[in-house]
Amino acid sequence: MGFCTLLAGTLGTFLLPLLLFLAAVRLWHVYCVSGREPGCSLPLPPGTMGLPFFGETLQLVLQRRKFLQMKRRKYGSIYKTHLFGRPTVRVMGAENVRRILLGEHRLVAVQWPASVRTILGSGCLSSLHDGQHKRRKKVIMQAFSRDALRHYIPAIQQEVSACLARWLRKGSSGLLVYPEVKRLMFRIAMRILLGFEPRQEQGSEQQLVEAFEEMIRNLFSLPIDLPFSGLYRGLRARNIIHAKIEENIRARLAGQGPAGGCKDALQLLMEHTQGNGEPLDMQELKESATELLFGGHETTASAATSLITFLGLHHDVLQKVRKELQMKGLLCSMNQDNKQLDMEVLEQLKYTGCVIKETLRLSPPVPGGFRVALKTFELNGYQIPKGWNVIYSICDTHDAADLFTNKDEFDPDRFMSPSPEDSSRFNFIPFGGGLRSCVGKEFAKILLKIFMVELARNCDWQLLNGPPTMKTGPIVYPVDNLPTKFIGFNGQI
């Protein structure tokens, strides 16, 4: 009797969990292939789905770029995986990406991971579809019109000049470029997009910067809202940002908003809602403003940091930028004041624009975008099942573009002539493409051009650690924060 009881206990302790585990593995296998369309002879893309239920999310979160590079080497331009709780196909290459980006509302629809949707909210532009997305984008685009951009230039130049003056005062001690640039771009985004006057907000600026960094660190996390989880920390940081934005909105409603000049994006959103006779949805406005801040400063901070890196490593390119500035009367000696910038002058700086393009080609701030398959469709001989997530890769598409000669070299001249390298839309997609191309791309281009002009005509610099190791989390940034020593430029080229 005792032996039977012991045997039963042993079987219950070891055999039952083993059977449950094997059943879970079998169910996982069925789940991984269940998306196949009955009667469709096309195979699923190659790849692995990782651990049952967890998929390969942990590997991606921990290894980021190393994980993605390994997958690309092993499986090529289309492969399957399981990320953030969903079966996923990752896509790269101009033709493959073209079908995804031009297939919006027909083959695919935007769908970010659950953690992103939870933190940023359902009311932001990137989560809207069809008519709602079209109407909201039309309103926001007013804040990035040519006339609006022209109005922003003096404020941007003022912020950049003041920042570079602080860097130069640090002298030989050096500074960490990436956090400094993030603070600069945050101030500009707060001022231009949301109408904050940063000089009046210094007490809370650091708190907001830290909250944004915490929110962004946890955007792509497991969708588990428990104390100390990534999602929990991201939501807590977002609430700090929302509280400040709500304070700003209520001040405007009380007639204390910014006066004169072009209207910022937040003001346009408020007026659009009120003009349609709709009740003001505070939560929706806070989500839209948070998304604008995210898009308006994180990505430009990454690109500006990469500009400093590439120009610091390629002094010949920096000298060519300065020669262009000199030809346009923008490079003065140390005893003269630098000329104020305007739209017409900035548009004439062709080589400077090519340096920005080449920087975005080699180091695009956003590595890719998320979609979901609306129906089962064929892509390059593979079946993309309905309901699966589709991630298109910007960085891998740039890397794989055969159109670019000597693609690993930093060579802005490749964009100087209207060659095939500049004309193939989907070999160069730093701002995405199709209906959901970046709404603020023209703002980003103007901002980066002003930053580079001010940098080139005011500073020389040295990267103290040499070429940095880059990491994605979720925006591309240097692991060492790019320690750099800045000194004043003497005007000689």
CA distance 457 to 489: 7
> 402-424 burial string, b = 16+ CB within 10 Å, else e?
ebbeebeebbbebbeeeeebbee
What phi and psi values does residue 129 have, to the nearest 5 degrees? Answer: -130, 160
Instruction: In whole angstroms, give the CA distance from residue 263 to residue 152.
Output: 10
Whether residue 163 is annotated as binding a ligand: the answer is: no
Which residues, listed in sequence order, are joined to residue 463 by a DSSP beta bridge? Answer: 484
Q: Which helix (H) or strand (E) holds 3?
A: helix 2-10
- Residue 234 CA to residue 210 CA, distance in Å, equals 11
Query: What one-character-per-residue DSSP string does 233-265 give?
Result: HHHHHHHHHHHHHHHHHHHHHTT-S--SSSPPH
Residues 6+ apart with CB under 8 A from 133: 125, 435, 436
Helix runs in 363-419, H state only: 394-400
Q: Helix, strand, or coil here: 405?
A: coil
Dist CA 400 CA 410 (whole Å): 16
CA dist 482 and 13 (Å) reads: 54
Residue type for position 424: S
Q: Taking CA 231 as the corner, what is the angle to CA 283 and CA 188, rounded to the nearest 5 degrees?
A: 55
Secondary structure element (H or E) that encloses residue 392, with its range: strand 389-393
113: closest CA among 82, 84, 81, 80? 84
Among 478, 469, 403, 400, which residue's Cα sits nearest to residue 96?
400
- Please state the separation of Cα 457 from the chain's center in Å: 28
Report which DSSP code applies to 474.
S
In 10 A of CB 315, how many CB atoms?
A: 10
List the one residue out of 479, 452, 484 whose CA is nearest residue 466: 484
Are the C-beta atoms of 89 and 388 separated by less than 8 Å? yes
Annotated binding-site ranges:
438
Annotated binding-site ranges for heme:
438
